[in-house]
């Protein structure tokens, strides 16, 4: 079939005229940016409520409870108390912005949801500053050591009440099986200046203290100087390793931490040691528990080791008190 030059020119002109329209259409499609994402940050809670109203008015009109570390799509955000979101299963509602890590996605992020696991030696995982699976951060002005190994994260904080030593402990089970929590097996050993076991105290007897001095704090333990990973790295690298921007999730219960942080005698009766005590039981996958254990006190104790047996490992936390009376 013969095609004239005239028809070829007309056809080429039509194609050229259509190119700007096609390019504009492609630009419009490209300009439709995807909706922003966020990750649910439970901050110690078992889940985060999504409600049907932006005010979270009582009684709550609950849509669903969002799982920790789950992804949500931000539908609207006026930077008020709540943001309108869509969950991964398509439910829509309002969530308090304090529980949303804006601009993050567990799917897109190459970083793991939890810090790397610590290496256990002979069944013992030991906390070391800057080591994989080890974190430290402040809670109510008290330093917390966090240690992850075998899908378990244990977090501890130790205070001197002037009468007893008080250990606040949280256990998070991220394995696929139940694990037993046995507070009776948790020990606190004094390493310096004396080598001896500091016995755990009965919460019922602690509760009968006239002024609940067990809830006071005169000093907080810090990481032991011996708990430093010796590596050929510069100090800046070690500092970044210890205080990462993506630390382990926080599992210490706010109720436990606040009740165990009373310094004023006027508030001493607001926490019952029996209610705050760490409870024995079975911890299901994706669950966490927090509580307090009191130990006998040695006023001269300097170097200590808090050991928490969970699962197949013993989690060892080296701690130290500055010299004080």
User: Does residue 109 sit within a domain?
Assistant: no
- Looking at residue 236, its pLDDT comes to 41
**Domain limits for position 305:** 124-320
Q: What is the mean pLDDT of the chain?
A: 77
Answer yes or no: is pLDDT of 299 > 80.
Answer: yes
Indicate if 239 and 97 belong to the same structural domain. no
Judge whether 1 lies within some domain: no
Q: Return the pLDDT at 223.
A: 85
- Domain membership of residue 165 (yes or no) is yes
Query: In this structure, is residue 8 part of a structural domain?
Result: no
Q: How far apart are CA 273 and CA 279, in angstroms?
A: 12
Q: Would you say residue 81 lies in a domain?
A: yes
Mean predicted confidence (pLDDT) in 187-212: 87
129 and 93 housed in the same domain? no
Cα 81-86-89 angle, rounded to 5 deg: 140
pLDDT in the model for residue 141 = 73
How far is 79 from 172, CA to CA, in rounded Å? 31
Tell me: pLDDT of 316 over 90: yes
Please give the pLDDT value at position 103: 79
pLDDT digits (tens, 9 = 90+) for 212-269: 676 777 888 888 887 764 433 344 433 433 444 345 566 665 445 544 544 433 333 4
**Do 255 and 151 fall within a single domain?**
yes
Residue 52 is part of a domain; what is its CATH number? 2.30.30.40
Tell me which of 197 and 96 has the higher pLDDT: 197
> How many whole angstroms separate alpha carbon 102 and alpha carbon 106?
12
Residues 130, 65 within the same domain: no
Of 66-70, 77-81, 260-264, which gets the smallest average pLDDT? Answer: 260-264
Q: Say how many C-beta atoms besides its own lie within 10 A of residue 290's C-beta.
A: 22
pLDDT attached to residue 29: 39
Higher pLDDT, 102 or 186: 186
Q: What is the number of structural domains in the chain?
A: 2
In this prediction, residue 136 carries a pLDDT of: 86
Across 299-312, average pLDDT:
94
Answer yes or no: are the C-beta atoms of 41 and 70 closer than 8 Å. Answer: no
| Residue 153 shares a structural domain with residue 247 | yes
Residue 180: its pLDDT value, please? 95
């Amino acid at each position: 079939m013969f095609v004239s030059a005239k028809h070829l020119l007309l056809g080429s002109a039509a194609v050229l005229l259509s190119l700007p329209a096609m390019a504009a259409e492609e630009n419009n499609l490209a300009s439709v940016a995807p909706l922003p994402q966020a990750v649910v940050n439970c901050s110690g809670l078992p889940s985060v409520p999504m409600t049907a109203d932006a005010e979270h008015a009582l009684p709550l009109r609950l849509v669903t409870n969002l799982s920790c570390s789950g992804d949500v799509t931000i539908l609207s955000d006026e930077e008020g108390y709540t943001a309108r979101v869509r969950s991964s299963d398509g439910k829509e509602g309002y969530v308090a912005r304090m529980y949303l890590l804006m601009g993050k996605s567990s799917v897109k992020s190459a970083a793991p949801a939890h810090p790397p696991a610590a290496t256990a030696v002979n069944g013992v995982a030991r906390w070391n500053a800057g080591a994989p699976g080890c974190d430290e951060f402040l809670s109510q002005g008290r330093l917390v050591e966090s240690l992850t190994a075998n899908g378990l994260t244990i977090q501890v904080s130790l205070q001197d009440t002037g009468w007893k030593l008080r250990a606040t402990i949280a256990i998070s089970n991220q394995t696929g099986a139940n694990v037993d929590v046995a507070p009776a097996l948790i020990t606190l050993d004094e390493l310096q200046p004396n080598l001896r076991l500091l016995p755990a105290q009965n919460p019922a007897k602690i509760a009968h203290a006239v002024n609940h001095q067990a809830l006071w704090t005169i000093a907080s333990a810090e990481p032991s100087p011996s708990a430093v990973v010796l590596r050929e790295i510069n100090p800046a690298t070690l500092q970044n390793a210890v205080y990462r921007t993506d630390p382990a999730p926080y599992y210490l219960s706010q109720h436990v931490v606040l009740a165990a942080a009373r310094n004023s005698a006027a508030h001493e009766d607001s926490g019952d040691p029996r209610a705050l005590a760490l409870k024995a039981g079975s911890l299901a996958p994706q669950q966490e528990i927090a509580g307090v254990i009191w130990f006998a006190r040695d006023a001269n104790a300097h170097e200590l080791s808090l050991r928490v047996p969970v699962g197949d490992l013993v989690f060892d936390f080296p701690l130290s008190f500055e010299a004080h009376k």
